[in-house]
Amino acid sequence: MAPGVIPFTSAVVTDHTDGASTVRWSAPGAGSVTVYAEGEGEGEGEGEGEGGGEGRKEGEGGRVAKGEARDAVTLRSAEQDGRRWFRLVPDKGRSLRLADRSLGLASVPNFRDAGGYRTADGRWVAMGKLYRSASLDRLSAADRRTLRRLGIDPVLDLRTTGEARKQPDALGEGQRPRRLDVLGGGESLANTQPTSADHARTLLRDSYEDFVAAKTGRAAYRDLFAQAADPDGEAVLYHCTAGKDRTGWASAALLTALGVPRSTVVRDYLASNRYLTAYNRQARAQLPDAVEDAYEPLLGVRKTYLDASFARVDRDYGTFDRYLSSGLRLADDDLAALRDELLVGESEP
């Protein structure tokens, strides 16, 4: 195995409410895997931490566990501020740095890392580079500090002028998002009045086609790709209202351009249903009984909605690569810069 190849075919970190984290991985043929705990901004996690398995208490960084090529460990630690990062170091091949995808921000639903996925050629989308979320109009002071700590610059607001004026991002004094209006001043789904559930589903599918076909959508997503390839800070955050539709296509398009398989892209897209559970529960409670059924499809995401975007790509451009080159007008150098910024590891031979 070439030293630059990341041997992990799957790897994920799941934080628990009791302060523990479960790290799960699969790296066939890589030998044993050593797990290191890292803080935000740390490097290779050098330390003299003691190895161990399930339920071992971790120290202040350093080695915290060792397992087989396919394994899982649960690690417990004292309360700490900031994100909990882990580096998986195989006997053979390059290491992989991961954290839980959700940051669990109390004031912003659906705020999560858009990275941490494996590409078809064996590279990985780096974590800590791309973030996605719902509207930031209720961003708390504590969560503003988290955004600063993450090095997020810029914040890209995919909403309309009217939406942004009504519920402006609460980034703090002197801080403003860059607005990339996907709908071009058109009516957002949040302001529509479906007459039935079927009508709502049709509205959503039509909107997802417009993300691909409309001139304003193409311009907005082109700018988003450019910002992701060359951010002012350490990371980019993009959002709309609920962080599921305009933001959902943004993530789907980025991940596809980076080489992430469609099945993984769909799984990431559908995760909004889980992250928006509490948010949607509150939304349902505010709906009159007479219209709840009609509005229900607007509250979540379905594979058929995302399928509408990809189908429009196929219909208008033939291939996704041509959508990138002709629809978003991204040159080969633009895409190379995006991949250099966001991918880690070497392609499998």
202 phi/psi in degrees, rounded to 5: -65, -40
Q: How far apart are the first and last CA of the chain?
A: 9
Query: CA-CA distance, 155 to 186, in Å (whole number)?
Result: 21
Residues 6+ apart with CB under 8 A from 216: 181, 182, 183, 184, 185, 186
Query: CA-CA distance, 185 to 56, in Å (whole number)?
Result: 54
**Candidates 240, 242, 255, 298; catalytic one:** 240
Domains of the chain by start residue, with CATH: 10-100 (2.60.40), 121-344 (3.90.190.10)
| Residue 42: per-residue pLDDT | 55
112 bridge partner residues: 102, 132
- Amino acid (one-letter) located at 262: R
Establish whether the linkage from the previous residue to 3 is cis, with ω within 30° of 0. Answer: no
Length of the chain: 349
The burial of 285, by beta-carbon neighbours within 10 Å (0-12 exposed, 13-18 middle, 19 or more buried), is given as exposed
Mark whether 240 is an active-site residue.
yes
97 bridge partner residues: 87
pLDDT digit string (tens) for the chain, length 349 residues: 788 999 999 999 999 988 899 999 999 999 999 999 987 665 433 332 223 333 333 344 589 999 999 999 999 865 556 789 999 999 999 999 999 999 999 999 999 999 999 999 999 999 999 999 999 999 999 999 999 999 999 999 999 999 999 999 999 988 899 999 999 866 556 567 888 999 999 999 999 999 999 999 999 999 999 999 999 989 999 999 999 999 999 999 999 999 999 999 999 999 999 999 888 888 878 778 777 888 888 899 999 999 999 999 999 999 999 999 999 999 999 999 999 999 999 999 8
